[in-house]
C-alpha cells in the first residue's frame, strides 16, 4: 500500500514537472560546419534537452532553471533555412525556424 | 443449545476482532495512502495554477523599444530606449547584437514607464563592408522583442549609420518637372539646421522618398517643394511633418 502511495506521489510530481517545463530557443547561429543553438530555460524545473532533427546527432544536455545554455553541434547547413526541433526528456517540444543570413 | 451459544459467542468475538483488524488496516495503510495521494494532487493543482499564472504574466509583457545611435569619439554607441506599456514590471535579461549577447546589466522596467539601456559600443568588423545589426531584447519570462524602428546599418560608402525604415514621401498630384526639394530637420535650438535633402529634379517625376537616418521620440521635419520657371523658384508647398518611433512614415502631397 505504502509503495503504491509513494509511486503515485512520484508519478504526480513527475507529471507536475512535465507541465512546469518552459524553454525557448533564444538564438541560433552557424559557421561552416557548426550550428550553435542557445536554449533558455525560463521554467522552475531543470530540464534535459536534445536536438532531435534526424540529420543531427547529439546527446542530452542539462539546462538548469533560469540558465541559458549554448549547444554546439556539427552540422553543415544547406539551403536557406533550417527547422530546429528541441525536445526535453519529459517529451516537451520547441520548434525554431532559423533563416540562414544571406 | 450450549454448543450453539458457544458458537455465537465465538462469532461475536471474531466479528469484533475482524472490525478491529479492519480499522487497524484503515488507519495504518489506507488513510495514509489517501492522504499522500490527496497531498500530491493538491500540490499538482497548485503548481498548475502557478504555471498558468506565469504563462499569463508572460503573455502580458508588453514592451517596445527603439534604438538610438550616438557617436562618441567616432565610435557608435547604442542605447535602447525601452517603454514598458504593460501592467507588469519587465526584466531585460539580455540583448543580442547579431551573435553577441550583452547581459552585463540588470534592467528592470516598472509598469507604464520608460528606461534607457546603454548597450555600449557597436563594433564594425570591417569598415569597408556594410554591416547590418539585428538587435533583440530577451526578458526573463522568455519573451523576445525586436525594435520597432528597424535595423541599424553601417554604410561604409558614406560612413554613416542609418535605419532606413523612416521615410518622408513627397508625392505630386500629377507629373511635374523642374522641382527642387528641401527637407530640414527641425531641432531645438535651430542652429545649425540639419538638411536631409536639397536636391533638383529637372526631369518629370511623380514621387520621391527621403530616408531619414533615425528618429528619437517625435522629430519634426520641414519639407519645402519649389518649381523653377526660367530660373525663378516658385514655392509649391511648405509643410512640417512628424516622424516618431510609432509612426515611421509621412507623406507630403504637392497640389497640381
ipTM: 0.89
Q: Are residues B34 and B102 in the same domain?
A: no
User: What is the average pLDDT value for chain B, to the nearest integer?
Assistant: 82
How many residue contacts between A and B have a Cβ separation below 8 Å? 60
Q: Are residues B152 and B178 in the same domain?
A: no
Cα(A43)–Cα(A95) distance, integer angstroms: 17
Question: Greater confidence, B164 or B240?
Answer: B240
Q: Are residues B54 and B68 in the same domain?
A: no
pLDDT at B199: 84
pLDDT at B156 over 60: yes
The burial of B191, by beta-carbon neighbours within 10 Å (0-12 exposed, 13-18 middle, 19 or more buried), is given as: exposed
Domains and CATH numbers, chain A: 2-99 (2.60.40)
Q: Are residues B205 and B182 in the same domain?
A: yes
Answer yes or no: do A2 and B29 touch at CB < 8 A: yes
Answer yes or no: do A22 and B142 touch at CB < 8 A: yes
Q: Are residues B145 and B69 in the same domain?
A: yes
The domain boundary residue, chosen from B117, B141, B162: B162
Which of A13, A20, A40 lies at the smallest CB-CB distance from B51?
Answer: A20
CA-to-CA separations, B8 to B2, B21, B149, B221, B225, in angstroms, rounded: 10, 20, 94, 109, 119
Q: How far is B62 from chain A (nearest CA, A)?
A: 18
Q: Are residues B179 and B235 in the same domain?
A: yes
What is the residue-level pLDDT of chain A in tens, covering all 102 positions?
Answer: 456 778 888 899 899 999 999 999 999 999 888 999 999 999 999 999 999 888 887 899 999 999 999 999 988 888 888 999 999 999 999 999 998 887
Q: Are residues B204 and B250 in the same domain?
A: yes
Question: Domain total for chain B?
Answer: 3
Q: Which CATH number does the domain housing residue B249 bear?
A: 2.60.40
Q: Are residues B176 and B148 in the same domain?
A: no
Q: Are residues B99 and B135 in the same domain?
A: yes
Q: How do strand A23-30 and strand A34-41 relate by DSSP bridges?
A: antiparallel
Question: Greater confidence, B6 or B171?
Answer: B171
Q: Are residues B221 and B244 in the same domain?
A: yes
| B129-154 pLDDT, tens digit each | 777 888 899 999 999 998 876 677 77
Cα(B96)–Cα(B174) distance, integer angstroms: 46
| B59-89 pLDDT, tens digit each | 999 998 877 777 677 777 788 888 898 999 9
Answer yes or no: do A42 and B99 touch at CB < 8 A: no
Nearest residue of B to residue A3, measured between CA atoms: B33
Cα(B204)–Cα(B118) distance, integer angstroms: 46
Residue A3, chain B, CB below 8 Å: the answer is no
Q: What is the mean pLDDT of residues B220-238?
A: 87
**Domain assignment of residue B41, given as a range:** 1-59
Answer yes or no: do A26 and B43 touch at CB < 8 A: no
Nearest residue of A to residue B133, measured between CA atoms: A101
Q: How far is A13 from chain B (nearest CA, A)?
A: 7
The domain boundary residue, chosen from B99, B133, B162: B162
Most distant CA atoms of chain A, gap in Å: 63
The domain boundary residue, chosen from B95, B128, B162: B162
Interface of A with B in 53-92 (CB under 8 A): 66, 68
Answer yes or no: do A66 and B140 touch at CB < 8 A: yes
Q: Are residues B189 and B247 in the same domain?
A: yes
Q: Are residues B53 and B89 in the same domain?
A: no
| B93-139 pLDDT, tens digit each | 999 988 889 988 889 999 999 888 888 777 766 767 777 888 899 99
Quickly state the pLDDT bin for B6 (edges 50, 70, 90).
low
Amino acid at each position: 500500500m505504502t509503495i503504491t502511495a509513494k509511486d503515485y506521489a512520484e508519478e504526480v510530481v513527475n507529471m507536475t514537472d512535465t507541465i512546469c517545463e518552459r524553454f525557448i530557443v533564444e538564438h541560433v547561429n552557424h559557421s561552416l560546419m557548426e550550428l550553435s543553438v542557445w536554449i533558455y530555460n525560463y521554467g522552475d524545473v531543470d530540464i534535459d534537452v536534445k536536438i532531435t532533427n534526424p540529420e543531427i546527432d547529439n546527446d542530452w544536455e542539462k539546462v538548469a532553471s533560469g540558465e541559458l545554455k549554448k549547444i554546439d553541434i556539427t552540422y553543415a547547413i544547406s539551403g536557406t533555412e533550417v527547422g530546429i526541433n528541441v525536445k526535453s526528456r519529459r517529451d516537451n517540444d520547441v520548434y525554431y525556424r532559423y533563416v540562414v543570413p544571406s | 443449545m450450549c454448543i450453539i451459544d458457544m458458537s455465537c459467542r465465538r462469532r461475536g468475538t471474531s466479528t469484533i476482532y475482524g472490525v478491529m483488524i479492519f480499522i487497524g488496516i484503515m488507519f495504518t495503510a489506507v488513510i495514509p495512502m489517501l492522504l499522500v495521494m490527496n497531498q500530491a494532487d493538491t500540490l499538482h493543482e497548485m503548481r498548475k495554477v502557478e504555471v498558468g499564472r506565469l504563462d499569463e504574466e508572460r503573455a502580458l509583457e508588453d514592451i517596445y523599444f527603439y534604438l538610438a545611435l550616438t557617436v562618441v569619439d567616432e565610435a557608435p554607441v547604442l542605447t535602447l530606449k525601452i517603454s514598458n506599456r504593460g501592467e507588469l514590471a519587465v526584466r531585460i535579461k539580455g540583448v543580442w547584437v547579431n551573435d553577441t549577447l550583452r547581459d552585463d546589466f540588470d534592467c528592470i522596467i516598472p509598469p507604464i514607464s520608460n528606461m534607457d539601456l546603454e548597450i555600449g559600443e557597436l563594433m564594425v568588423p570591417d569598415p569597408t563592408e556594410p554591416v547590418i545589426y539585428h538587435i533583440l531584447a530577451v526578458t526573463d519570462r522568455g519573451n523576445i522583442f525586436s525594435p520597432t524602428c528597424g535595423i541599424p546599418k553601417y554604410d561604409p560608402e558614406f560612413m554613416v549609420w542609418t535605419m532606413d525604415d523612416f521615410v518622408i514621401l513627397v508625392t505630386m498630384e500629377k507629373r511635374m518637372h523642374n522641382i527642387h526639394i528641401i527637407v530640414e530637420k527641425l531641432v531645438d535650438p535651430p542652429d545649425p539646421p540639419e538638411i536631409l535633402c536639397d536636391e533638383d529634379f529637372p526631369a518629370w517625376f511623380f514621387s520621391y522618398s527621403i530616408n531619414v537616418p533615425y528618429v528619437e521620440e517625435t522629430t519634426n521635419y520641414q519639407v519645402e517643394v519649389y518649381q523653377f520657371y526660367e530660373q525663378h523658384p516658385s514655392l509649391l508647398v511648405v509643410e512640417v511633418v512628424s516622424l516618431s518611433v510609432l509612426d515611421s512614415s509621412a507623406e507630403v502631397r504637392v497640389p497640381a
